[in-house]
Structure 1
Amino acid sequence: MLRSHLIDYSSIQHEPAYTAKTLLAATGIEADILAKTVVLHVDGVSALAVMTASAKIRWDKLCRVMGTDFIELADESEFAEQFPGCELGAIPPFGTLFGMTVYLDQSLAAQSEIAFSAGTHDEIIRMSMQDYKRLAKPIILDAGFIRSAHIPTDDAPPLAQTG
């Protein structure tokens, strides 16, 4: 997809990593640009939330900013078939590929670059945020996410479940 849109990006191959801490150690990516993608159900409709790897969802504020009473984190067993060619927990942040809306955390949107899983646990894509926004067409949210002071430990749930 990136090549067909003439997007300048870099691909970083690394040892398999399943948590933010091990991914940061394996790649040397800056924590402020490393994105995690989680699947949400917003009033029963699947959507992607994209935030920095150290962020957590603040459910009450996310519901308020999205104007809904019901948002829940999808279980991996519910969406495994929705992302063909992607490993569980390694979903790239492009909802257009999967027919989903993308919600992007303002603090990540403010960065000049974004780095994210290429659909596997051993490859990261790094590209400009401007190009990412142009392709993904995310809805940028200024509330609903909080940044942790630290990256989760190795015993934290995989990236796709953290939130």
Structure 2
Amino acid sequence: MFEEAAFPGALPMLAKPELAQHAAMPQSHTLRGEDIVYVDNTPYRRHPRGGGLVALTATVANRVVIAKTAMVKDHAVVVGNVRLFDRVVIEDRAIVADGCTLRGDSSVGGDAVLRGSVQLSHQARVDGAAHLSGNVKLQHYAHVRQGTLVGGLVIH
């Protein structure tokens, strides 16, 4: 159910009673029958498709796939046929929609919007007020902070 190595500092909802005395955060919480996991005092639930962590303040569609080691944080929105693999993080007020695929240690934050068939991999980062749509691929530490990228682009 829970792997400490995937999220250091995280505590599962149903911690062993002998460990509860050492924890500074709540150990027991249920939301609609789901197990709640705390990471840095923020409550998360496991997503049904893949087991990744989703903050209770985030919005994620049921059809999205989130790998067990991926996270959707803060007030991020992830909808459509999005697939989040590996150690991907979606945070802040970012929106990822349609058929986007994110891999590796890539991340999206700020007020960024990704739509269409956007692909991120190899620690690519999109944040700020950036908007990407269409068949855009960001790879190998590429970082987009502002502006709009549309169409068949590959950025390394």
* TM-score interval for Structure 1 and Structure 2 normalised by the shorter chain: under 0.3
Q: TM-score, normalised by structure 2?
A: 0.24
- Please identify which structure carries the higher helix content: 1
* TM-score w.r.t. length of structure 1: 0.23
Q: Name the structure where strand makes up a greater proportion of residues.
A: 2
Bigger RCO (CA 8 Å, 6+ sep):
1
